[in-house]
Amino acid sequence: MFIVNVEAAIMKNEKWLVIQRGLKEEHAAGTLSLVGGKVDSGGIVQDVLEETIKREVEEEVGVTITNNIQYVHSTSFIADDNIRVVDIVFLCEIKKGEPYRKSPDEVENIYWLTTEEIMNHPDSPPWLKESIKRAEQITR
């Protein structure tokens, strides 16, 4: 069994929306990340990945994204707590709102960073760099 996780690659004015994960998070605490989270396991839901990314972006940073959600890539990994995860990254656009720390337990800080800043940031893990590289290829 896997946990299914989704992440939103959001670009505005040539910068990516990136969060610093909460310092108490079980996996990758304090590292830079795209906004996202786990698919809930309740009931039958149409477009469950798309609905999850919309919910997670709103819950964590308080913005609404458009329905123009585009697949970027997927990976699998074993989290720090030994749970197997399938992670899916989507390219998303903000429809309404300005990002803020709506969920302080999950989000320590919010940044708008260029691709170069993400690639050179000391708290940028390899999987974030790969997701940004792939998302940027789609935006060109």
Average pLDDT over residues 13-21: 96
105 token code pair: 């337990």
Q: Using one digit for the tens of pLDDT, what is the confidence trace for 29-53?
A: 789 999 999 998 777 778 999 999 9
Q: Which range, of 14-18, 25-29, 113-117, 136-140, averages the lowest pLDDT?
A: 25-29
Q: What is the pLDDT of residue 25?
A: 76
DSSP H or E stretch at residue 120: helix 115-120
Average pLDDT over residues 97-101: 97
Q: What confidence category does residue 95 fall into, taking pLDDT thresholds of 50, 70 and 90?
A: very high
Question: What is the rounded average pLDDT for all residues in the chain?
Answer: 93
In angstroms, the CA 72 to CA 78 distance is 20
In angstroms, the CA 132 to CA 29 distance is 19
Strand blocks (E) in 41-129: 64-65, 70-78, 84-92, 94-96, 107-113
Domains of the chain listed by start with CATH number = 3-139 (3.90.79.10)
